[in-house]
Structure 1
C-alpha cells in the first residue's frame, strides 16, 4: 500500500468512526425519549488489491444498523390513556396539517404517551394523532375510521329487558299470618294463578289496594331492585311471593306446591296500592325442584326464563321484562329460613351517564367509565405490523414510514398486547453506549495517528528528494 493509500484509508477510518460517534451521541441524547430505538453502527472493509500471495487491507465504510424491532422496557406512568405495545407492532398515527385536516399519510410509532388535547383527540408527545376506529358507546358498532376523538361522550340510558334472579323459597313461609298460627295458602281467586299449564301469562290477576292488607298478611318479601324505563328513567320495582297452593301428593290428581310472584303497581304507596300478579304459576315437586310452567321458555341447557308482561310502576311503563331463572336458579329446598333467600339478582338496564374516565384494554380498545358506573367501548387503536420492521424509514418524532424494504402494513396485534397506563421507554443503554464511545474515540485517535505518521513519511520522502 502506498503512503497516499494509507492516508486515504486513515481518512475513511476517521470518517467511519465519526459516523459511529454521531450515532452514539444520538443514542445517548435519546436515552429518555419514549419509544426511541437506538441506531448501531456496522463497519465493512473495502479490499483495494488482492492476489494469491498478497492482500492489502483497504478503506472502511460505516453503515447504520437499526433496532426498530427491538423491544424497549415498559414503564408505568399512571396516565390511563398512555399505551405501550408489548411485542411486535406499531401504533398508527398521522400529523395534523391544519384545522381539522390531517396529512393523509400514515406513520407508525412505538411512542404511546397519548393524552387528550383540547379538541378530544388522542395525541402523543411528538404531535402524532392516534388513528383507528371510533365506536358507538351504546351499540359498540364502528361509527367512523380515522383520528380517534373522545369529546362530550355520554352513554344513553338503556331500558330494562331482563332480570337475572335466583332464590330458594321456604317450604313454610314466615308470613305475619303464620306467626299467628295461620299457615294456609293465599287463596283470593281474583288474584292468584294455580294452573301451571297456561300457555301465556294471565294478565287479569291482581290484588287491589282494598285487598292489600290481606295479601301482605299472607306473603313474604321477594326481590326489590331498580329497573329503567325507555330513556333510562329509574323505576322502583318491589315484589312479594305468596304461596297459593300446598303440596298434596296423595290427592287425585296430586298437587304440587305453587307460588305466585307479585309486584307493586306504585312505589310510593306500595303497601296500600295494587299488587300485580306476574301471571304464572311457580310450582315445585316434592324434592323442591322448580317445575317450569307452560308459559316459560326452556333453553337447550335447561335454563328457564319467563316473561313478566307490560310492567308499569306509577304509570311509568318498563314494558315486557324477562325473568331469567337460569338452570336450577329457583328452588324450594327445606331450610331453617322462613324467608326467600336471594342468591342472584341483577338487571340489564341503566340510567344515562357522563364520561368519568378512560382505560385501555390489552386489545387496544379504549374504554370509558361513566357516572352511572357502566363501562362502554369508545374506540379501537389502529395497530400495524410489518414483515421487516427494520426496513422502515425513520421520521421525526419517533415515527416511521413504510418502505419497499419494510413491506406493506399488516393490521392487527399479531400476538402482541397493549399495556394501558404505560409507555415504552427508549431501548438505548447508557452503559453500553459509553463503552462504545470509549472504543470509538480510541479508534478515531488511532486513525489520526496513522494519518500523522503517513504525513511524516511523506515529508521525509520529499526531504530526501531535495
Structure 2
C-alpha cells in the first residue's frame, strides 16, 4: 500500500470520525426532544485483497446505528392527552397536507413515532408537537367495543352527550332478620316489627268478644245486667281493667254506680267502659251494642281479648259473656296474608314507622329528566309469628301526594328467605313496568339483584345494609375535557359526570425496529428491511406521561472525547505521510 495508501487510509479515518462527530452533535442537540432516539456510529474496516502475508489493516467506513429499541425515561405531565409507550411500539400518525372546505386533508400514509405530546387542536384532532395527527380505532358508543380494524385519524366531537334512559338498577343489600322499626323500638313486642296491613287497607275488624241472645237495649237500666257487688274484668292486649259495680257513691272509673244518673243505663255504662279502656292504652277499643248484643272489639287485628264476667242482673244472667280468651287467630292469619298495594299520603308516617329505609337513587327518563327513587322495606311475616320470613319492597312514586292519594307503591312480589338467609325461591331481578316517579315516566326498569345480591342475616342495628346501588342512565351532558387512560382509550368527560370512551389508540410494532427510516419531526417510515407494522390494541400506553430522549449526555461527552482524540491521531498520520513523501522527493536533489 505504501505511503499513498497510508495517506488514503488516514483520510477515511478522518471522514469516519467526522461522521461520528456529526451524530454526537445531533444526539446532544436533541437531548431534550420528546421521544427522540439517538443515533450511534458503527465503524467497518475495509480490507484490500492481498496474500495473507501482505494483508494490511485497511481503511475504515462509518455508518449509523439506530437505537429505536432503547426506551427513554418516562415522566408524568399534567396534560391528560399526552401519552408514552412502555415497550417497543410506536404511535401511528399521519401528516396533514392541506385543507378543503374548512376541513383538514390528510396524506393517507401512516408514519410511526414515539413522540406522544398530543393535544386537541381547534378541529378536534389529536396532534403532537411535530404536527402529526394521531390515528386509532373508533369505539362504538353503545357497546363500548372497538369497531373496525384499520386505524384512522381520530377526531373528537364536542357535541352534547344525549341522555340515556335508566333501564337497570343494580341493587344489592342485606335485610335484618329483626328490623328495628320505629314501631318495634316503641313496643319491643313480638310481631311489632311487622307491617300491620290493617293500618293501610280495609280489613274487617275482629269481633273478639260478644254476647248472644241478651237483647239488651241502650236505654235499659244498668241494674238489668249488673248488681251491686258484681265485677267485670276486660283485658285487651296488655291493658287489663276490673270494673266494680256499686249502688251509691257515684261513678269513678273503674267503679261504676248503677244508681248514678251518669251510668244508670246500659248505653252510658258501655260508653264509659270504652272510654276508660282507650285511656288505659287499648287504643281503638270498641265497647258497644250490636244488634242487641254487647260487643267488645280490640280495635286491631293482633290483640286477644280476655273476659271474666262476674255480673248478675235482676232480669238476666248479667252482661252475658262467656268467660275466657278470645284469640283473633283467624283475623291474624288474614292480616299476615294481606298485601298492601299502595300507601296513601295520609298514612305515610305510620308506614315509615313500620318499615326501614332501603336507600335512594336518582334515575333518568328518556329525555334526561331526573327522578329520585326512594325505597323502603317492610317485613310482612316471620317464623316467630308462625309464617315464613317474608318482605315487601315499596317505592315512593309520588312524594307530593296528599290525603288519600297513593304515595308509596309496592313493587315485585314477596321476597321470601330461608333459614340460611338466602332468598327462597331465588330472586335474581325484579321488573318495574312503566315506572313513574313524581310524574316522570321512566319506563321499564329492572332491579338487578344478582345471584347473591339479596340476603337476610341478623344485624344488631336492625337496618338494611345496602352494598350496591347504581343505575345505567344519565342526563344530557356537555363536553368538558378529554384524556387518555392507561388502556390506551381516549376518554371524553362531560359535565353530567359521565365518561365515554370514544377511541382506542393503537401501537405499531416491527420485527426489525432499527431498520425504520428516520424522517423529520421524530417520525419513522416502514421499510422493506423493517417489515410491515404489527398493530396492537394493548401496547402499554401510559396516560398523562411523556417519553424523554434516550440520549445520555455523559455518554455522548465521553464519545466526543474519544472521537476528538481519534481525529487528532488521524491528522498525525497525514502529517507523517506528508513528511515521508517530502523525504522521498529530497532524494533526487
Distance 1:205 1:272, change over 3 A: closer
Judge conservation of contact 1:216–1:271 (CA < 8 Å) in 2: no
Counterpart pick for 1:371 among 495, 513, 518 = 495
Judge conservation of contact 2:504–2:537 (CA < 8 Å) in 1: no
| Greater Rg by CA | 2
> Aligned runs of 1:194-205 on 2, under 5 Å?
205=341
Q: Structure 2 CA distance, aligned partners of 1:333 and 1:452?
A: 98
What's the CA shift string for 1:288-340, capped at 9, x where partnerless? 432237xx5xxxxxxx2121222101232112222222334333333333433
Judge conservation of contact 2:346–2:403 (CA < 8 Å) in 1: no
- Aligned residue for 1:262? 394
The answer to whether the aligner puts 1:343 opposite 2:347 as a matched pair is no
**Cα displacement (A) at 1:437:** 0.9
The answer to whether the aligner puts 1:122 opposite 2:121 as a matched pair is no
- Aligned residue for 2:197? 187
- TM-score normalised by the chain length of structure 1: 0.87
Judge conservation of contact 2:412–2:432 (CA < 8 Å) in 1: yes
Q: Structure 2 CA distance, aligned partners of 1:313 and 1:281?
A: 22
The CA RMSD measured in Å over matched residues stands at 2.8
- Aligned residue for 2:207? none
Judge conservation of contact 1:138–1:376 (CA < 8 Å) in 2: no
**Cα displacement (A) at 1:136:** 4.3
- Aligned residue for 1:162? 168
Counterpart pick for 1:233 among 348, 369, 374 = 369
Distance 1:4 1:119, change over 3 A: same
The answer to whether the aligner puts 1:454 opposite 2:577 as a matched pair is yes
The answer to whether the aligner puts 1:330 opposite 2:454 as a matched pair is yes
What's the CA shift string for 1:89-108, capped at 9, x where partnerless? 11001110001111111110
Distance 1:326 1:51, change over 3 A: same
Judge conservation of contact 1:191–1:207 (CA < 8 Å) in 2: no
Q: Structure 2 CA distance, aligned partners of 1:423 and 1:177?
A: 63
- Aligned residue for 1:299? none
Judge conservation of contact 1:11–1:447 (CA < 8 Å) in 2: yes
Compare 332-341 and 236-245 and name the one that shifted more.
Answer: 332-341
- Aligned residue for 2:416? 283
Q: Structure 2 CA distance, aligned partners of 1:116 and 1:271?
A: 57
Compare 339-348 and 234-243 and name the one that shifted more.
Answer: 339-348
What's the CA shift string for 1:174-225, capped at 9, x where partnerless? 4444455482532258699x99xxxxxx9x9333445545544533333221
- TM-score normalised by the chain length of structure 2: 0.70
- Aligned residue for 1:301? none
Distance 1:29 1:238, change over 3 A: same
Question: For 1:95, what is the secondary structure of its paired residue?
Answer: strand
Q: Structure 1 CA distance, aligned partners of 2:201 and 2:412?
A: 12
Counterpart pick for 1:425 among 539, 548, 573 = 548
Count of paired positions: 444
Moved over 6 A (4+): none
